[in-house]
Amino acid sequence: MGWIFLAIVVGVIFLAISIYNRLVSGRNRFKNAFAQIDVQLTRRHDLIPNLVETAKGYMAHERETLEAVITARNTAVAGLKNAVRDPSDPEAMKQLAQAEQGLSGALGRLFALSESYPDLKANQNMMQLSEELTTTENKVAFARQAYNDSVMQYNILCESFPNNFFVTWFSFQQAELLEIEDEAKREVPQVSF
């Protein structure tokens, strides 16, 4: 009888160790995935001042738009710094998503306005910066998808039985997805004949 009890205790200990290790592995995977987002967003944030400086020479009387881009960029940088401290903080992830959405909107207005300035559109620096920014945006989207996949796997691990019992014991918490809304994707295309 004593051996059976000892075997059950040892089995429960090994189960707890196994669950703990899987939870740690899942948490580290989504944190690593967020580090990739950090790299791409930092690059994006670093490109924006150069883009604004290039546009300033051509769009001197569009100061409000240029200042809105810089303000949105600074907000996004602050949101990223906050999220980097703890990618598992749901509030930090929501703030980052809102800041990035605001930055995307401000950049969209800048690019829409730049269409009115043919010399600016033809400027080699502006074209190169726009291309780099577009490439970086694509990398951000891929990194965000990888992050969200890692978060989803981690959250499933946290919610699965019997892991859900150990999640509270080991102080694990579910992670927040990084969802940046793109208003242009939500709009219904207008078709006219």
| Mean of all residue pLDDT scores within the chain | 83
What predicted TM-score, i.e. pTM, was given to this entire model? 0.72
Domains delineated in the chain = 16-178 (1.20.1440.20)
Residue 191: is its pLDDT beyond 80? no
pLDDT tens by residue, 78-104: 999 998 888 888 888 889 999 999 998
Structure tokens at 99: 């800041």
pLDDT in the model for residue 112: 82
Cα–Cα distance list, 88 to 24, 71, 167, 168, 191 (Å):
12, 26, 14, 15, 43
Instruction: Provide the pLDDT for residue 28.
Output: 92
Does the pLDDT value for residue 137 go beyond 50?
yes
Task: Answer whether residue 75 shows pLDDT above 90.
Answer: yes
Rounded-to-integer distance, Cα 147 and Cα 34, Å: 6
> What is the per-residue pLDDT across 153-180, written as a single tens digit (0 to 9) for each?
999 988 888 888 888 888 888 888 887 7
Question: DSSP per residue over 105-156, as a string?
Answer: HHHHHHHHHHTT-HHHHH-HHHHHHHHHHHHHHHHHHHHHHHHHHHHHHHHH
User: What pLDDT does residue 173 have?
Assistant: 85
Could you give the C-alpha distances from 146 to 18, 35, 99, 167, in angstroms and in order?
A: 25, 11, 20, 23
Q: Radius of gyration of the chain from Cα atoms?
A: 23
Q: What is the mean pLDDT of residues 123-147?
A: 83
Residue 71 main-chain phi, psi, to 5 deg:
-60, -45
